[in-house]
């Protein structure tokens, strides 16, 4: 970048002052972009998964839901996904969390937070008798905004039994979770 600035100034294409402001504004612009896309930024414009207390996961953005074979089940901007394990319309929420008495305060920490670098689609695959595997840039956030993380890939619990909600900790095996 410095070499380019030197060549432009020396060739008379731009003045030293113009070079300074031009390269300075580029740098500021890049910095702003990075700020919005780094982990735990509440201002991110990428896909989000909101964890509702005692309720579903709300996926918002450019969302695609696939079955275990990769077949498209749903595509949309606002999709409620069951995480209590009781829905009769899995992987979608049908309100059964109320009758089943599902409880989760939706607060979490994430030691595997990642920077996210793009605003591409979020594909959520429903693994058979197992987790929701989300791939793509996403922010995962509690409804009150107190818990937040960013990921490019996340295994999310949908059996209701993980001790590390909203993430899967493989407890679904112990409970014999059935996704059908
Ligand atoms: S789906 Fe609940 S622990 Fe894996």
Answer whether 161 contacts ligand 1 (Cβ < 6 A).
yes
The domains of the chain are located at 2-37, 47-174
CA of 166 to the centre of ligand 1 (A): 9
pTM of the model: 0.75
Atom of ligand 1 nearest to the CA of 171: 3
**Could you give the maximum distance between any two Cα atoms of the chain, in Å?**
75
Task: Report residue 151 CA to chain centroid gap.
Answer: 6
Decide if 130 contacts 177 (C-beta within 8 A). yes
Which carries the bigger pLDDT value, residue 27 or residue 109? 109
What's the pLDDT band for 180 if we cut at 50, 70, 90? confident
What's the pLDDT band for 45 if we cut at 50, 70, 90? low
């Amino acid at each position: 970048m410095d070499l380019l600035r030197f060549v432009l100034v020396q060739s008379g294409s731009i003045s030293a002052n113009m070079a300074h402001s031009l390269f300075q504004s580029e740098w500021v612009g890049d910095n702003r972009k990075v700020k919005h896309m780094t982990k735990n930024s509440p201002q991110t414009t990428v896909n989000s998964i909101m964890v509702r207390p005692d309720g579903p996961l709300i996926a918002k953005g450019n969302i695609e839901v696939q079955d275990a074979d990769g077949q498209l089940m749903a595509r949309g901007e606002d999709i409620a996904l069951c995480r209590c394990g009781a829905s009769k319309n899995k992987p979608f929420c049908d309100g059964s969390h109320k009758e089943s008495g599902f409880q989760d305060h939706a607060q979490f920490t994430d030691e595997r937070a990642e920077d996210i670098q793009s605003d591409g689609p979020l594909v959520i695959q429903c693994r058979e008798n197992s987790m929701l595997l989300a791939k793509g840039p996403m922010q995962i956030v509690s409804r009150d905004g107190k818990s937040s993380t960013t990921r490019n890939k996340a295994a999310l619990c949908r059996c209701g039994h993980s001790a590390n909600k909203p993430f899967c900790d493989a407890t679904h095996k112990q409970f014999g979770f059935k996704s059908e």
